Amino acid sequence: MGQTGPKFREACIRRPMLHVNPKFVDLRAHSTGRQRLSPQRVLRRLLRSIGAADSEVPNDLDELTAAWRAATSSLRLLLVLDDALGAKQVRPLLPAGPGSKVLVAGRRRLAGLDADRRVSLEPLETGAAVSLLRNIVGEDRADREPEATHELVRLCDGLPLALRIAGTRLQTRPVWTLAYLVDRMAGDEHRLGELSAGGAAWRRPSVCRTTSSRRSSSVDSAHWAWRRPSSSTR
């Protein structure tokens, strides 16, 4: 959805004394052009990040999980897991420290996780989405085409990631008008092609849908879950 960065910064700011060394992992469940990260690969990376030598890092998932929980049993961590596919991918990554917190972001509601708190992130309001797009493409350029600017916001569903990709396309193609990009994005199939850049891509989730009270249509949401490791995970 494109709101992971702000949420990660917010989490770090709110708990600066508790979490000395926050960890961020992009699990790439919906990434294009990049392979999804397996729990084994993530655990090896996390263990190295807290000082484990390569010779001390096992290969088996059960052994990796046990090593991670033993290594984190006395630590207080903030672990942010972005673009999670499901609970099965997340559970082995939970640290064991009673003072640790895990923030999980995914396109689906991760009902299989025992979370302290669940939050659904709605798309940006029209005004905020227009402001984001103006900041990316330039205020003068966007203001010359107010109707096309609002239509582009609508086509991006107010999602920050989609807006950033569309804005970057315009930023790197100064001869394009906003109306030209709007025309190129006509139809979902063409829209998907225009809103892909490198490993990032806009997707319209098929599972996670909520209905906004401000609009008559369904809108996409990103779902976050705070997870405090309990004694049962150690």
Helix (H) or strand (E) holding 67: helix 61-72
- Own/partner contacts of 57-64, CB < 8 Å, gap of 24 or more, are 61/92, 64/39, 64/40, 64/92
What pTM did the predictor assign? 0.60
**56-70 tens-digit pLDDT:** 899 899 999 999 999
Q: How far is CA 91 from CA 36, 95, 113, 225, 234, in A?
A: 16, 9, 8, 13, 11
Mean pLDDT value across residues 159-164 = 84
CA distance 196 to 219: 19
218: confidence class by pLDDT, cuts 50, 70, 90: very low
CA distance 110 to 104: 9
Mean pLDDT value across residues 202-214 = 33
